[in-house]
């Protein structure tokens, strides 16, 4: 394993500020740009014009983070979500999503809930007993339950307003997850809950090689329960639950894609996730085509491996 010296030139953990446990891999800008262009048909070159490489690090918490943490802008997400109908895919059988169902169980009748990065606000269907507000400056939903503001702006005017703040598959998309969590904490009253769900590592998701959705400018952090506990501890939050969740129906294609791969990412001690390797390209191409068909006609088997990390933390 590569273990970098703790010096000012080494990017520290974005949630604790600790030096990284190890350097995992360096990835060229051209490789990531090519993977997005060939696999997803999305051009990311403009987002990367100021950098020539990305590095992956592991924090002492187990958090995996990319440096620099360049994230997508409105143009990127408009192009990517439109091309692949991402919101439709995310909300497939949303009534069965494990993160939504688990969170609804933590919320009490009459609770005021703000859902950060809500998209079309589908989580509200799990909360007939609560008061739902969706927060998303980029959503195309037209419902009166949506507030089109940035999190920073909303936290300034609604500090302590809510009984719970949720963010499902949002924190892995932000360049400063610590600040994101801090603003969510500001939104809730003392005794209120902050709930996060994010892709789990190690999991089938991170074993799919050259997977564009799990790299910049889409995902810039990979999470686990220990990293979530460390994030909560930074703000004196009491951890109610830090765990992993079983896959939901909308993640069925990821399950089958992983199952059908002939080649997967390199394991420890010298793990590699991105590279120009023809066996990887061929393997993921064939598995992708087969998984699209199989996921439509065949359900995931019972007890599949988890792909999401999950946190519920209470504000003192």
- Residue 277 maps to a domain: yes
Q: 310 lies in which domain range?
A: 22-314
Model confidence pLDDT, tens digit, residues 208-221: 999 999 999 999 99
Model confidence pLDDT, tens digit, residues 109-136: 999 999 999 988 999 999 999 999 999 9
The C-alpha R_g of the chain, in whole angstroms, comes to 19
- Residue 6 maps to a domain: no
The domain total for the chain is 1
What's this model's pTM, rounded to 2 decimal places?
0.93
CATH code where residue 131 lies: 3.40.50.150
pLDDT of residue 64: 98
Model confidence pLDDT, tens digit, residues 12-53: 999 999 999 999 999 999 999 999 999 999 999 999 999 999
- Residue 160 maps to a domain: yes
For residue 119, what are its two tokens? 């998209």
Report which of 118, 33, 117 is spatially closest to residue 76, judged by C-alpha positions: 33
Residues paired with 23 in a beta bridge: 2, 57
- Residue 10 maps to a domain: no
- Residue 272 maps to a domain: yes
- Residue 176 maps to a domain: yes
Residue 267 to residues 28, 137, 162, 304, Cα–Cα distance (Å): 20, 39, 43, 20
Burial class of 6 by CB neighbour count within 10 A (0 to 12, 13 to 18, 19+)? exposed
- Residue 232 maps to a domain: yes
pLDDT of residue 3: 38
Residues 6 or more apart in contact with residue 78 via CB below 8 angstroms:
none
pLDDT band at 248 (very low <50, low <70, confident <90, very high): confident
pLDDT of residue 90: 60
- Residue 16 maps to a domain: no
Average pLDDT, the chain: 92
């Amino acid at each position: 394993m590569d273990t970098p010296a703790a010096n000012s030139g080494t990017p520290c953990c974005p949630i604790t500020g600790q030096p990284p446990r190890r350097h995992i891999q360096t990835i060229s800008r051209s490789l990531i740009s090519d993977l997005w262009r060939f696999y997803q048909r999305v051009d990311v070159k403009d987002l990367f014009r100021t950098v020539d490489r990305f590095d992956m690090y592991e924090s002492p918490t187990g958090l995996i983070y990319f440096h620099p943490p360049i994230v997508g802008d409105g143009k990127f997400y408009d192009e990517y979500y439109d091309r692949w109908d991402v919101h439709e895919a995310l909300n497939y059988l949303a009534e069965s999503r494990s993160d939504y169902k688990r969170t609804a169980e933590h919320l009490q009748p009459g609770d005021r809930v703000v859902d950060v990065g809500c998209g079309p606000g589908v989580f509200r269907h799990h909360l007939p007993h609560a008061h739902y507000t969706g927060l998303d400056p980029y959503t195309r939903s037209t419902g009166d339950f949506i507030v089109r503001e940035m999190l920073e702006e909303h936290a300034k005017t609604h500090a302590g307003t809510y009984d719970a703040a949720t963010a499902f598959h949002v924190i892995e998309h932000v360049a400063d997850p610590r600040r994101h969590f801090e603003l969510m904490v500001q939104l809730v009253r003392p005794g209120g809950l902050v709930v996060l769900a994010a892709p789990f590592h190690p999991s089938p998701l991170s074993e799919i090689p050259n997977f564009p959705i799990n790299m910049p400018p889409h995902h810039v952090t990979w999470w686990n329960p220990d990293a979530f506990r460390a994030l909560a501890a930074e703000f004196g939050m009491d951890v109610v639950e830090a765990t992993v969740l079983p896959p939901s129906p909308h993640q069925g294609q990821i399950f089958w894609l992983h199952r059908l791969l002939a080649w997967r990412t390199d394991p420890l001690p010298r793990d590699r996730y991105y590279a120009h390797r023809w066996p990887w390209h061929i393997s993921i191409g064939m598995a992708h085509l087969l998984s699209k068909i199989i996921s439509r006609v065949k359900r995931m088997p019972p007890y599949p491996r988890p792909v999401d990390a999950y946190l519920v933390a209470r504000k003192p």
